[in-house]
Every structure is written in C-alpha cells, then in structure tokens.
Amino acid sequence: MDKIPAILSYLGVGLVMGTISALLGIGGGVLLVPALVLIWACSMHTAIGTSLAVITVCSLAAAIRHHMLGNVDFALAGALAVGAVAGSFFIGAPLAEMMPGETLKKVFGVLLTVVGLRMIGVFPYLAHVLHIGGG
C-alpha cells in the first residue's frame, strides 16, 4: 500500500510541472529539480538526470501542442537544438558530474534567483534608481 501514495505524489507533481512548463515555457527542471531534492531527498546529480529524462517527454508533448496552435518557429528551434545538444552532451553533463552536489545546488539557486529578479524587473529598476546606464 505504500506504493500507491508514492505513485500519486509522483503523478501530482508531474501534473503540476507539466502544466506550468507548457503554460510558461520553462524547463521542468526549474520545478522538478527542487521537488526531487526537497520532497524525495534525491541527490542533485540524480535530480538533474531524472528531471532531464522527464523534461524530454514533457517538452515533446508541449511542443506538439504548441505546434498545433501555431506557436513553434522550427528554424529557430532547430538551430538552438543543435547548440543545446552539443553543449549538454559535451560540456554540461560532464561538468555536472565533476561538481559536488552542494556546489550544483548553489549554482542552481543563484541562477533561479538572478533569472527571477530579471523577470520581475529588479535590475532595470535598480539601474534607474542608482543612475546606472544610458539616459
């Protein structure tokens, strides 16, 4: 019986992650890596690998649906995909394997923080307040 609650929690988190990923176009890793680490106590390395496996399927489903809605630029996607595949296979995955899990957590946290602050407009606001930049 212990397996049923676990499976339901996996399905629930997957449903939320898939919904938000397709809605906002964010990689599921932004949601799934923290869930795997915080809820199921996975190591960062396992969380990253598992997240990428899930994102592959989730992204394909969302991309197909967005294509049906006319929201995919295949020329741009193809060019980005070539660089992304090369970077992930030859640089990202080997680099992640060389880094300690705690370092990966910190890098991940800083990246999320910086991107979040940028998305809500903190940097342009600070530049304006501090009179940095042109104008």
Task: Write down the domain spans for the chain.
Answer: 3-84, 99-135
Name 47's Cβ contacts closer than 8 Å, sequence gap at least 6: 32, 33, 36, 37
- pLDDT tens-place string over residues 2-52: 888 889 999 999 999 889 888 888 877 888 999 999 999 999 999 999 999
Please, which pLDDT band fits residue 129 given cuts at 50, 70 and 90? confident
Q: Is the pTM of this model over 0.85?
A: no
One-letter identity of residue 68: M
CB 59 within 8 A of CB 21: yes
Using alpha carbons, select from 32, 10, 33, 5 the residue that is nearest to residue 20.
32
